[in-house]
Amino acid sequence: MTQKIIELCEENNFTYGYRKITALINQLYSASINHKRVQRIMRV
């Protein structure tokens, strides 16, 4: 899942915040991921 989050960030030139990335992950992959987890991964 970490790799998918990083790929989405790179595809969008890091212009999307954690809220939009969380929504995309939950929509595209039918996953239930908390925004706090996405925020933690994006910090790195």
CA 25, CA 35: separation in Å to the nearest integer?
10
**Radius of gyration for the chain, computed over Cα atoms and rounded to the nearest angstrom:** 9
Q: How confident is the model at residue 26 (pLDDT cuts 50, 70, 90)?
A: very high
pTM of the model: 0.84
The ranges assigned to domains in the chain are 2-43
pLDDT-derived band of residue 31, with 50, 70 and 90 as boundaries? confident
Spatial contact of 16 and 32, defined as CB atoms under 8 Å apart: no
Residue-wise pLDDT tens digits, 6-22: 999 999 999 999 999 99
pLDDT bracket for residue 25 (50, 70, 90):
very high
- State the Cα–Cα distance between residues 30 and 44, nearest whole angstrom: 24
